[in-house]
Protein backbone atom coordinates (compact mmCIF):
# COMPACT_ATOMS: atom_id res chain seq x y z
CA UNK A 1 0.00 0.00 0.00
CA UNK A 2 1.35 3.45 -0.91
CA UNK A 3 1.70 6.25 1.63
CA UNK A 4 -1.12 8.15 -0.08
CA UNK A 5 -3.43 5.11 0.14
CA UNK A 6 -2.53 4.60 3.80
CA UNK A 7 -3.22 8.27 4.55
CA UNK A 8 -6.60 8.22 2.78
CA UNK A 9 -7.68 5.03 4.55
CA UNK A 10 -6.42 6.39 7.87
CA UNK A 11 -8.86 9.27 7.47
CA UNK A 12 -11.70 7.33 5.84
CA UNK A 13 -11.97 4.42 8.30
CA UNK A 14 -13.09 6.75 11.08
CA UNK A 15 -15.69 8.80 9.23
CA UNK A 16 -16.62 10.23 5.85
CA UNK A 17 -14.03 12.87 4.97
CA UNK A 18 -14.02 15.73 2.50
CA UNK A 19 -11.57 15.56 -0.38
CA UNK A 20 -10.01 18.83 0.83
CA UNK A 21 -9.11 17.09 4.10
CA UNK A 22 -7.04 14.61 2.11
CA UNK A 23 -5.15 17.54 0.58
CA UNK A 24 -4.50 19.08 4.00
CA UNK A 25 -3.22 15.86 5.57
CA UNK A 26 -1.18 14.82 2.53
CA UNK A 27 0.94 17.96 2.97
CA UNK A 28 2.48 16.15 5.97
CA UNK A 29 3.89 13.38 3.77
CA UNK A 30 7.46 13.68 2.54
CA UNK A 31 7.45 14.02 -0.38
CA UNK A 32 3.87 15.31 -0.47
CA UNK A 33 1.82 13.87 -3.33
CA UNK A 34 0.54 16.24 -5.98
CA UNK A 35 -3.17 16.92 -6.37
CA UNK A 36 -3.07 14.81 -9.55
CA UNK A 37 -1.59 11.89 -7.60
CA UNK A 38 -4.29 12.23 -4.93
CA UNK A 39 -7.02 12.25 -7.59
CA UNK A 40 -5.55 9.17 -9.30
CA UNK A 41 -5.07 7.33 -6.00
CA UNK A 42 -8.61 8.10 -4.86
CA UNK A 43 -10.05 7.01 -8.22
CA UNK A 44 -8.10 3.74 -8.06
CA UNK A 45 -9.27 3.08 -4.50
CA UNK A 46 -12.91 3.60 -5.54
CA UNK A 47 -12.44 1.22 -8.47
CA UNK A 48 -10.84 -1.35 -6.15
CA UNK A 49 -13.84 -1.12 -3.82
CA UNK A 50 -11.85 0.37 -0.93
CA UNK A 51 -13.76 3.67 -0.80
CA UNK A 52 -17.36 4.75 -1.24
CA UNK A 53 -18.03 8.29 -2.48
CA UNK A 54 -20.81 10.46 -1.10
CA UNK A 55 -22.33 13.59 -2.57
CA UNK A 56 -23.35 15.89 0.26
CA UNK A 57 -25.70 18.84 0.14
CA UNK A 58 -28.24 18.50 2.92
CA UNK A 59 -27.89 14.72 3.14
CA UNK A 60 -25.21 12.19 2.18
CA UNK A 61 -26.06 10.45 -1.09
CA UNK A 62 -23.88 7.51 -2.26
CA UNK A 63 -22.61 7.74 -5.82
CA UNK A 64 -22.04 4.90 -8.26
CA UNK A 65 -18.51 4.50 -9.63
CA UNK A 66 -19.14 6.55 -12.80
CA UNK A 67 -20.64 9.45 -10.84
CA UNK A 68 -17.89 9.15 -8.25
CA UNK A 69 -15.16 9.32 -10.91
CA UNK A 70 -16.74 12.45 -12.38
CA UNK A 71 -16.97 14.17 -8.98
CA UNK A 72 -13.45 13.18 -7.90
CA UNK A 73 -12.00 14.69 -11.08
CA UNK A 74 -13.62 18.11 -10.49
CA UNK A 75 -11.00 20.45 -9.05
CA UNK A 76 -13.63 22.38 -7.06
CA UNK A 77 -14.38 19.29 -4.97
CA UNK A 78 -10.81 19.31 -3.62
CA UNK A 79 -11.25 22.79 -2.08
CA UNK A 80 -13.04 23.71 1.14
CA UNK A 81 -16.73 24.31 0.39
CA UNK A 82 -18.69 27.24 1.74
CA UNK A 83 -21.11 26.40 4.55
CA UNK A 84 -24.10 24.54 3.12
CA UNK A 85 -22.46 24.17 -0.30
CA UNK A 86 -22.43 20.82 -2.12
CA UNK A 87 -19.29 18.80 -1.48
CA UNK A 88 -17.89 15.29 -1.88
CA UNK A 89 -16.75 12.93 0.85
CA UNK A 90 -15.21 9.47 0.88
CA UNK A 91 -15.56 6.72 3.45
CA UNK A 92 -13.84 3.34 3.69
CA UNK A 93 -15.82 0.29 2.64
CA UNK A 94 -15.59 -2.97 4.57
CA UNK A 95 -12.85 -4.03 2.13
CA UNK A 96 -11.00 -0.78 2.81
CA UNK A 97 -11.25 -1.32 6.55
CA UNK A 98 -9.98 -4.91 6.24
CA UNK A 99 -6.98 -3.71 4.22
CA UNK A 100 -6.26 -0.90 6.66
CA UNK A 101 -6.43 -3.10 9.74
CA UNK A 102 -4.51 -5.91 8.04
CA UNK A 103 -7.31 -8.46 8.15
Total count of domains within the chain:
1
Q: Which has the higher per-residue pLDDT, 58 or 3?
A: 3
How many whole angstroms separate alpha carbon 19 and alpha carbon 47?
Answer: 16
Q: How confident is the model at residue 53 (pLDDT cuts 50, 70, 90)?
A: very high
Q: How far is CA 87 from CA 2, 6, 29, in A?
A: 26, 23, 24
User: What value does the mean pLDDT of the chain take?
Assistant: 94
Question: Is the pLDDT score of 35 beyond 80?
Answer: yes
* CATH number, position 82: 1.10.10
**Can you give the residue range of the structural domain that contains 85?**
3-100
pLDDT confidence of residue 67: 96
How many whole angstroms separate alpha carbon 73 and alpha carbon 89?
Answer: 13
pLDDT, average across residues 79-98: 95
Total Cβ atoms within 10 A of residue 35: 14
pTM for the structure as a whole: 0.93
Amino acid sequence: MSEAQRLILDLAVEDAIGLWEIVWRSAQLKPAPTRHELVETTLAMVEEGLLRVLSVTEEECPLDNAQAASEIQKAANWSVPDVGEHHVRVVATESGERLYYGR
